[in-house]
Structure 1
């Protein structure tokens, strides 16, 4: 990580869901790797170059989709990255608790 990188987090209420965005001004992700970053055990750099298990975003995606939301990625090399995800106002797990 380089000193001076900026991360911005925003949230919007869309009625039936909340939309969150996490944006940085880092190195970005090449378009051919956009789907790869959500795969389990997938890393964009060799593990001896960057310590990573490659499971973080796959877990996040699974949790979000299980609760009825979705996650997307917008990025270009050299222009930073934005992850957007929606989280339902009534997640599936809370609806199951109410029903029981």
Structure 2
């Protein structure tokens, strides 16, 4: 594809892939970029096959999250963004199973 500068995953050090899709999230090959008959979008993939110890990895072909980005730059910038809050979070964030 293009030479994209993606940061490694903060959980495992692996790298994501960018999936080409249409406006409805249907996955297409890279060739679709040249003839996008139903809009064009981009999703991030970080799969368990390439990153077996990553807690946020999905199965191959499944996107991370549900966002369809309008541009490659938007998808890269979203992945590369790191929240800068260094304060620990406290509260009832653990789900308790009864």
TM-score by length of 1: 0.27
Q: Kindly indicate which of the two structures has a greater share of residues assigned to strand.
A: 1
Structure number with greater CO (CA < 8 Å, separation at least 6) is 1
Q: Kindly indicate which of the two structures has a greater share of residues assigned to helix.
A: 1
